[in-house]
Amino acid sequence: MSSITVEILAKKSGLSTSDLLKKISEAGLPMSEGSHTLSPEQQKQVLEHIRSTKKKIDLKLKKPLSLKKKTNTITPTSSTSQHNRNLDRQTASPNNKSANTVEKSKKTPRQTTKGKADQQSEAIKPLSVEEVLASRAKKSKTTTEKKASAAKTRQLEPSEAHEKTIVLNETMQIDELAKAVHLSTADVIKMFFDLGEMITINQIIPYELAEIICDQLGYKTSKNTEKQVDDDIIGYSTGQSEAEDIQSRSAIVTIMGHVDHGKTTLLDTIRKTKIADKEAGGITQHIGAYKVNTAHGDITFLDTPGHESFTAMRARGAKVTDIVVLVVAANDGVMPQTIEAIQHAKAAEVPIIVAVNKIDKEDADIEKIKTDLSQHNLSPEDWGGDTIFQNISAKTGQGIDELLDSIALQAELLELKANIAGTPRGIIIESRVDMGLGPIASILVQSGKLETGSVILVNEHYGKIRAMYDHTRKRKVVAYPSDTVEITGLSGLPKAGDHAIGIINEKEARLIATRRMTENRLKERLAAQQSKDDLFLKQMDDKMAQIKELSVIIKADVHGSLEAILDIIEKINSNPETETLKVKTIAHTVGGINSSDILLASASNALVIAFNVRADASAKKLQTQEKTQIEYFSTVYDIYDYLLQISKDILKPETTEKIIGSADVKEVFRASKQNTISGCIVTEGSIKKNANVRLLRDLKVIYTGKIQSLRRFQDDTTEVKKGLECGIGIKGYTEVQAGDVIETFVVEKNT
């Protein structure tokens, strides 16, 4: 310890010069100015005097641990920081005898403290000023670091930081990442800034970016999966065994093939129904699922559309099926959609049975069909291959029994079984919205038993099953594996192809659904954010800036049709012939057209494409005010032709449908088994005899045909105008109900 002036000692000890001079005078040293120099012995004497008075607290020099008993002696540690921590604990303790000793020393007169101070200094060596200040600076630095960043404090303990693994979602917000790594949101944003990423507090970040931050902090990361989270919430541990009751189940058979090759007619012959007569345009618009009781046992048939627009729907059908029946017309041959069906079936590794249909036609060429299919690795058994070929006529019923035998044989070889006692699981075949019942989903049960009252989870939707119906609208209480049922009670409309699972109770289902909904919204926001960035880059290109956009809003009756229309738009946008215009989908939903759709179309200057749905009364009124264009369609290939025509030359198509009137059905009269008269009142335009007509129920098209008879009271008439009552007979349709809407239209050629 070297000699220093009074002023310097005052600064180091945290006292003013005048206060220190008083202490020096009390210690018996003659000093009157701050410039006087103190020798090491004098400094020691002054410090000992200060410690013995209550002013030692100002210097934050805490007294060492006092002796609890005369036999216990505390030896000072070699580490200054450890010594200070011990002193802090002893000072904070209310029962500590050291604290009591300090209080007593404060009350002791100055004349009696010198001897005690000397005795204590002999027991424990006092700290120098430099040691005290160094200890205080170290403690202050540690506190600052803790407040500034918890991560830096954690890095002082590498064993803890590097052993912990953080589970992150695929997408997340900044505050979620901050909570996971125990940092503030500002600290995480600053770390991104240091890495060259300009991230805002409301921005959605992907897992890859979050992984970089965790790596910087010494954490290991793993990506979260829906199954992991669902298992935690539901209460099942991964790999936990369920109750088992393995039993045989019915085969699930998908009918595939090209459009108009007789798929639905074949199924009709098996089911002894006439579904094909009700299809618009003679083609299947949706996936149909039916369980058929045959002499060879129960078989579940999936009828998938054959038009090229339904590629995605056929693919979904192939993924849930056990056997594919490929229908090929003997007089038409292998077509592009036939090849696509083969590709889907092979991708799903599903056995194929070829049904050569229309063998009763004069121009049927069965050998040509076999030759063409052999080029796609489908060799018939009589040629030495392993593919079953069955010649049939769906119209006359020839070969149907043999085809069912082949299906039963193939199903027996597959040994199809399911766990009846396990968790109910299934897949959504189709979904739609009913005005009275709400969301309705067609589900194919894959395992377990689905019961009325069960809680079910489908993606981000959940609910308790209120009712179940089979394809004949017969109410069911229990559905077993391979059964197809329509269920009501879901909180929202699921997508076709979504997986469904039974949950223990509704609370757990709601928790998972809420989490999934949040995840889906985050993904949508991330996708929108990326699209916005991509759009900005495209606008930088002068060539892309010249491309015109056609905004459309799509409304469809079921989700499967919606997918088909979206697939059409994607094909048009990827067509090199339509580079001058791109179709942009503003919104696409299932259900009738409402006022919100009209307002959205008006705000975005969009065209509304309506597939087998209609606008309600308020939407029609708003459409007239906003002058929004709505195009109605009943077959998907008309949508393709319409959009393709617009995309190519931005001209109207050759023909356009024009609605001329509509009437509400008030009462229905049965004239005969083949004739039904609808008592109506005309609400818009006029109803003309022999006009084209559509029957609407819940804003959805259920039949398209012509007016057969039109009467005003007892007299036949050719036209009934708005506000008048009339009787309408629809040609070929008798299932009219009160509350339906009859809409008439004409097809006009564009000039």
- Do 258 and 398 lie in one domain? The reply is yes
- Is 243 domain-assigned? no
Question: pLDDT at position 94, please?
Answer: 42
pLDDT, residue 742, reads 92
Say whether both 257 and 393 belong to one domain: yes
pLDDT for the residue 34: 60
Please check whether residues 640 and 666 belong to one and the same domain.
no
Please check whether residues 13 and 35 belong to one and the same domain: yes
Check which CATH number belongs to the domain holding 301 and give it. Answer: 3.40.50.300
Decide which of 387, 415, 443 is a domain's last residue: 415
Question: Do 215 and 170 belong together in one domain?
Answer: yes
Whole-prediction pTM value? Answer: 0.57
Residues 69 and 170 in one domain: no
- Residue 234 domain-assigned (yes or no): no
What are the φ and ψ backbone dihedral angles of 365, each rounded to 5 degrees? -135, 90
Instruction: Give the pLDDT of residue 130.
Output: 54
Give domain status of residue 506, yes or no: yes
Please give the pLDDT value at position 455: 93
Asked if 666 and 605 sit in the same domain, the reply is no
Q: What tokens does 309 get?
A: 């627009």
Clarify whether residues 386 and 276 are in a common domain: yes
Answer yes or no: are the C-beta atoms of 663 and 683 closer than 8 Å: yes
pLDDT at 112: 43
Residues 64, 62: Cα–Cα separation, whole Å? 6
Longest CA span, the chain: 136
What is the CATH number for 196? 1.10.10
The pLDDT, as a whole number, for residue 354 is 94
Which pLDDT score is estimated for 103?
Answer: 42
- Per-residue DSSP letter, 67: P
Q: Say if 297 falls within a structural domain.
A: yes
Task: Tell me whether residue 644 is in a domain.
Answer: yes
The DSSP result for 572-589, as a single string, is HHT-GGGTTEEEEEEEEE
461 and 361 housed in the same domain: no
Q: Which of 653, 688, 707 is the last residue of a domain?
A: 653
Q: Is residue 508 part of a domain?
A: yes
C-alpha span between 211 and 225 (Å, rounded): 15
pLDDT score recorded for residue 97 = 40
* Residues 343 and 215 occupy one common structural domain: no
Instruction: Flag whether 34 is in a domain.
Output: yes
The CATH number given to whatever domain includes residue 724 is 2.40.30.10
Regarding whether 265 and 217 lie in a shared domain, the answer is no
DSSP category for residue 282: G
pLDDT at position 138: 61
Q: How far apart are CA 147 and CA 576, in angstroms?
A: 60
Chosen domain end from 632, 653, 674: 653
Sheet containing strand 251-257, strands side by side: 288-294, 297-303, 251-257, 323-329, 352-357, 388-391
Residue 502 structural domain: 419-515
Query: What pLDDT is recorded for position 164?
Result: 73
Residues of the chain with pLDDT under 50: 54-125, 129, 144, 147-162, 227, 229, 232-233, 235-240, 309, 542-545, 651
DSSP assignment string, 86-137: HHHHHHH-TT-HHHHHHHHHHHS-GGGHHHHHHHHHHHSPPPPHHHHHHHHH
pLDDT for 86 equals: 44
**Tell me, what amino acid is at 691?**
A
Q: 495 and 431 in contact (C-beta within 8 Å)?
A: yes
How many Å apart are CA 215 and CA 166, to the nearest integer? 10
CB burial readout 324-354, b (16+ within 10 A) else e: bbbbbbbbbbbbebbebbbebbeeeebbbbb
C-alpha–C-alpha distance, residues 261 and 319, integer Å: 22
Number of structural domains found in the chain:
6
**Is residue 725 assigned to a domain?**
yes
CATH code where residue 632 lies: 3.40.50.10050
Do both 256 and 385 map to the same domain?
Answer: yes
Query: Residues 577-587: pLDDT tens digits?
Result: 666 677 888 88
